[in-house]
Amino acid sequence: MVHRQQFTVPVSYDVVFTRDLFALTNLALANVLPQAGSPARMAVFIDSGVQQAWPGLAGKIAAWARAHNDAVILPEPPMVAPGGEQAKNDLLFVQRITHQLQRMQICRHSYVMAIGGGAMLDAVGLAAAVFHRGVRLIRVPTTVLAQADSGVGVKNSVNLDGVKNLIGTFAPPYAVLNDTLFLQTLDERDWRGGIAEALKVAAIKDASFLDELERLAGALVARDLDAMETVVKRCARLHLDHIATGGDPFETGLARPLDFGHWAAHKLESMTNFALRHGEAVAIGIALDVYCAARLKFITAGERDRICALLRRCGLQLWHPVLEKRSGSGALLVLNGLEEFRQHLGGRLTLTMPDGLGRKRDIHSLAPAIVADGIAWLAATHKQPLPASR
Ligand SMILES: NC(=O)c1ccc[n+]([C@@H]2O[C@H](COP(=O)([O-])OP(=O)(O)OC[C@H]3O[C@@H](n4cnc5c(N)ncnc54)[C@H](O)[C@@H]3O)[C@@H](O)[C@H]2O)c1
Ligand SMILES: [Zn+2]
């Protein structure tokens, strides 16, 4: 006998844009919680980098919770958790978070709030997804990259054995609250790095977004918050539309279009021991892939140059010396990124490339010689550092 078991689980979550989320008069958090019943028990974790930049935040959250005790109860004051890639490089971190959740008696009807960058959200997200087989996670992303991309999506992960995102789950959040004001305290590298992800999604999905990025590039490098908010909102929207309508929200197929530029980026991150931040590595990965796309005649040389020029105008460097690193046998080490990327998705290698700007196509092989030429091209055209004023 064969019985085909089949059911669907509807997924929906609110992604809210606001400013000053924990001002006493801001009801964004209360509004995403159930309006009836008892207040939500909530464990709150703050990224250590955010805590440093916003020392009053934990107190402000506690005051908000006291003022809105019909909506939220904090069993303990907000806790600080390590931020940055270090949070993803040690599984012990995930374990520690679960111990803390257990101590606070967080249950499947409680909430975990994670306030931080993409790395900390990924690690706390994994802990929340496996604790009691999954508790509700409210993400409060605090970097450009996390607000525009990672924080609004459905994934979490940590790294293992030097391989990015080797352990993780697909687990949609309960809600996402994007507070633009957090972006003010980002350091230069994180401010700019997030723009690479916006450019990535524009290059393969929305040519008019590329025009907008070109219009806003000057304001973005000048740290204009309104310009950045515009970019973050548009990028998040493209990302969310892709998850909702792309037909493969949990990435069971071969293609992962939003990982355009990422096969090299992930490798560069681990090759530099994470000295290159994710967004910085993505910028280089995009530059390398648009070179390949131009060689394969998917885009013109002019379009390739337009993308690279825009990345640089946004303050992103398109070169790192590890690109030229070779193994004992003389092979470029970055090429291992292709195989690692294939293994991560399984099956046949599938890379997304632009097909004209604003459209995409998949390819299933990439000749090492073309990548090597791409690296030589980047060395010849983009090795020079960005002007100091940037
Ligand atoms: N889950 C996904 O779908 C997905 C998608 C893309 C990227 N990612 C992951 O996201 C991570 C990168 O995230 P990121 O770019 O946000 O960097 P990050 O999380 O490493 O944060 C960068 C630094 O900024 C600090 N910080 C965070 N917010 C701050 C603020 N408002 N003010 C001052 N400092 C602040 C952090 O403590 C950290 O030191 C990578 O690990 C990447 O793999 C995940
Ligand atoms: Zn990315």
Residue 390's pLDDT band, with cuts at 50, 70 and 90, is: very low
How far does residue 333's CA lie from ligand 2's centre (Å)?
20
State which of 19, 45, 46, 47 you would mutate to test the pocket of ligand 1, scoring each by most atoms of that ligand within 8 A of its C-beta: 47
> Domain for residue 348, yes or no?
yes
213-229: average pLDDT: 97
230-248: average pLDDT: 94
CB-based contacts of 222-231 (< 8 A; 24+ apart in sequence): 223/191, 225/180, 225/181, 225/183, 225/184, 228/144, 228/180, 228/183, 228/191, 229/17, 229/180, 229/183, 231/144, 231/148, 231/195, 231/198
Which ligand 1 atom sits closest to the C-alpha of 194? 15
* pLDDT tens-place string over residues 266-292: 999 999 999 999 999 999 999 999 999
CATH of the domain at 24: 3.40.50.1970
**Is residue 182 lining ligand 1, measured as CB closer than 6 Å?**
yes
Which ligand 1 atom sits closest to the C-alpha of 197? 6
How far does residue 223's CA lie from ligand 2's centre (Å)?
21
* H helix or E strand, kind and range, residue 138: strand 136-141
Q: What is the C-alpha separation between 361 and 377, in angstroms, rounded? A: 23
Q: What is the C-alpha separation between 24 and 65, in angstroms, rounded? A: 9
Residues 79 and 42 in one domain: yes
> Domain for residue 8, yes or no?
no
Residues 181 and 321 in one domain: no
Q: What is the DSSP string of 205-237?
A: H-HHHHHHHHHHHHHHHTT-HHHHHHHHHHHHH
| Nearest protein CA to atom 38 of ligand 1, as residue | 84
Share of the chain above pLDDT 70, in %: 99
For residue 313, what are its two tokens?
């105008």
Q: Residue 184 CA: which ligand is closest?
A: 1
273 CB burial (10 A radius; 0-12, 13-18, 19+) = exposed
- Residue 27 predicted with pLDDT over 50: yes
> Domain for residue 355, yes or no?
yes
Q: Which of 3-12, 239-248, 290-299, 315-324 has the lowest mean pLDDT?
A: 239-248
Within 8 A by CB and 6+ apart from 273, the residues are: none
Residue 201's pLDDT band, with cuts at 50, 70 and 90, is: very high
Residues 326 and 348 in one domain: yes
User: Which of 162, 185, 208 is the last residue before a domain boundary?
Assistant: 185
Q: Pairing between strand 72-73 and 40-47?
A: parallel
Residues 222 and 293 in one domain: yes
User: What pLDDT score was predicted for residue 212?
Assistant: 98
**Is residue 117 lining ligand 1, measured as CB closer than 6 Å?**
yes
302-316: average pLDDT: 97
User: Which of 185, 209, 231 is the last residue before a domain boundary?
Assistant: 185
> Domain for residue 390, yes or no?
no
**Is residue 372 lining ligand 1, measured as CB closer than 6 Å?**
no
Q: Residue 172 CA: which ligand is closest?
A: 1
| Nearest protein CA to atom 44 of ligand 1, as residue | 150
Look up the domain containing 340 and give its range.
188-243+253-382
251-267: average pLDDT: 87
Residues 80 and 216 in one domain: no
**Is residue 179 lining ligand 1, measured as CB closer than 6 Å?**
no
Residues 308 and 171 in one domain: no
How far does residue 70's CA lie from ligand 2's centre (Å)?
38
Q: Which of 129-138, 180-189, 246-255, 356-365 has the lowest mean pLDDT?
A: 246-255
Residues 181 and 192 in one domain: no
> Domain for residue 280, yes or no?
yes
> Domain for residue 208, yes or no?
yes
CATH of the domain at 216: 1.20.1090.10
In the chain, the number of structural domains is: 2
Contact 363, 353 (CB under 8 A): yes
Residue 388's pLDDT band, with cuts at 50, 70 and 90, is: low
Phi, psi of 55 (to 5 degrees): -60, -25
Residues 215 and 76 in one domain: no
**Is residue 85 lining ligand 1, measured as CB closer than 6 Å?**
yes
| Nearest protein CA to atom 22 of ligand 1, as residue | 84
Residues 289 and 367 in one domain: yes
Helix 207-221, helix 225-245: angle, nearest 10:
150
Of 139, 148, 120, the C-alpha closest to 213 is 148
User: What pLDDT score was predicted for residue 197?
Assistant: 93
**Is residue 122 lining ligand 1, measured as CB closer than 6 Å?**
yes
Residues 152 and 226 in one domain: no
Within 8 A by CB and 6+ apart from 60, the residues are: 22
- Residue 386 predicted with pLDDT over 80: no
Q: Residue 153 CA: which ligand is closest?
A: 1
**Is residue 190 lining ligand 1, measured as CB closer than 6 Å?**
yes
Residues 151 and 37 in one domain: yes
Residue 356's pLDDT band, with cuts at 50, 70 and 90, is: very high
> Domain for residue 6, yes or no?
no
User: What pLDDT score was predicted for residue 350?
Assistant: 93
> Domain for residue 388, yes or no?
no
For residue 145, what are its two tokens?
């990259």
User: Which of 185, 203, 223 is the last residue before a domain boundary?
Assistant: 185
Residues 90 and 208 in one domain: no
Q: What is the C-alpha separation between 324 and 310, in angstroms, rounded? A: 24
**Is residue 150 lining ligand 1, measured as CB closer than 6 Å?**
yes
Q: Which of 26-35, 110-119, 314-323, 377-386 has the lowest mean pLDDT?
A: 377-386
How far does residue 145's CA lie from ligand 1's centre (Å)?
7
Alpha carbon separation from 172 to 42, 117, 125 (Å, rounded) = 18, 17, 9
Secondary structure of 54-98 as H, E, C letters: CCCHHHHHHHHHHHCCCCEECCCCCEEECCCHHHHCCHHHHHHHH
**Is residue 146 lining ligand 1, measured as CB closer than 6 Å?**
yes
